[in-house]
Amino acid sequence: MSMESYRVRLRETRLAKNGQDDVALFNVTREADGETWRVASFLSPLFRRLHMKAGAGPDERRDMVAGLGMRAIVQKLRGPGISAGEALVFALDYPGAPEAPAPLKPYDDVTVSGPA
């Protein structure tokens, strides 16, 4: 089986107000040909209520949405793959469930190998 190398970069995070989802946007680049696509991860208010301390600050929320998003992207690239425009929504299901959430750090820029 041949392998591809992918570079995943965090583009931005948007923290919600008024009970909306927190969002992390990533660029995924296949290094062989430079093709790049975007993937979004969403952290639902339900997830925050179940898995985070009440009143979690902006840094904790950013770490969770970006870290879980990066972990899910890495897992998908190592397995079945991930498509352009795919959205990852974390509510009851998340990478590593049912264990405690374990965001991937650092999450700013990661290179991963996966099936071609």
**Is residue 17 a part of any domain in this protein?**
yes
Contact predicate 116/6, CB 8 Å:
no
Domains identified in the chain, total number: 1
Q: Is residue 106 part of a domain?
A: no
Contact 82, 39 (CB under 8 A): yes
Q: What is the pTM of this model?
A: 0.91
Q: Is residue 20 one of the residues assigned to a domain? A: yes
Amino acid sitting at position 56: A
User: Does residue 86 belong to any structural domain of this protein?
Assistant: yes
For residue 55, being part of any structural domain is answered with yes
DSSP state of 37: E
Domain span at 26: 3-91
CA–CA gap between residue 69 and residue 43 (Å, rounded) = 9
In a domain, 14, yes or no: yes
- Tokens 């374990």 label which residue? 102
pLDDT in tens, the chain (116 residues): 688 999 999 999 999 988 899 999 999 999 999 999 999 999 999 999 999 998 899 999 999 999 999 999 999 999 888 888 888 999 888 888 888 899 999 999 999 998 87
